[in-house]
Chain A
Amino acid sequence: NAGVTQTPKFRVLKTGQSMTLLCAQDMNHEYMYWYRQDPGMGLRLIHYSVGEGTTAKGEVPDGYNVSRLKKQNFLLGLESAAPSQTSVYFCASRAWDRVLFFHSNQPQHFGDGTRLSIL
Chain B
Amino acid sequence: DQQVKQNSPSLSVQEGRISILNCDYTNSMFDYFLWYKKYPAEGPTFLISISSIKDKNEDGRFTVFLNKSAKHLSLHIVPSQPGDSAVYFCAASEAYSNYQLIWGAGTKLIIKP
On whether A42 and B89 interact (CB within 8 A), knowing A101-B51, A107-B34, the answer reads yes
Q: Among B6, B31, B101, B106, which residue has its beta carbon within 8 angstroms of that of A102?
A: B31
Minimal Cβ-Cβ distance residue in A for B3: A42
Q: Among A41, A58, A101, A112, which residue has its beta carbon within 8 angstroms of that of B41?
A: A112
Q: Among B41, B98, B104, B106, which residue has its beta carbon within 8 angstroms of that of A48?
A: B98
Q: Among B44, B53, B104, which residue has its beta carbon within 8 angstroms of that of A101?
A: B53
**How many residues of chain B have a CB within 8 Å of chain A?**
29
Closest chain-A Cβ to B73's Cβ sits at a distance in Å of 15
Which of A44, A50, A108, A113 gathers most chain B CB within 10 Å? Answer: A108
Report whether B99 and A107 are in contact in the complex, using a CB–CB cutoff of 8 Å.
no
**Complex contacts, A100 vs chain B, CB 8 Å:** 51
Interface of B is mostly: loop
The verdict on A110 contacting chain B, using a C-beta distance below 8 Å, is yes
**How many residues of chain A have a CB within 8 Å of chain B?**
29
Report whether A42 and B103 are in contact in the complex, using a CB–CB cutoff of 8 Å.
yes
What is the CA–CA distance of A89 and B31 in the complex, to the nearest angstrom? 27
What is the CA–CA distance of A32 and B43 in the complex, to the nearest angstrom? 14
**Complex contacts, B91 vs chain A, CB 8 Å:** 42-43
Closest chain-B Cβ to A2's Cβ sits at a distance in Å of 13
Closest chain-B Cβ to A34's Cβ sits at a distance in Å of 12
Q: Which 10 A-B pairs have the closest CB atoms?
A: A110-B43, A42-B103, A107-B46, A102-B95, A103-B32, A43-B103, A42-B105, A42-B104, A112-B43, A110-B44
Q: Interface on A for B, CB 8 Å cutoff? A: 4, 31, 40-45, 48, 50, 56, 58-59, 90, 92, 94, 100-105, 107-113
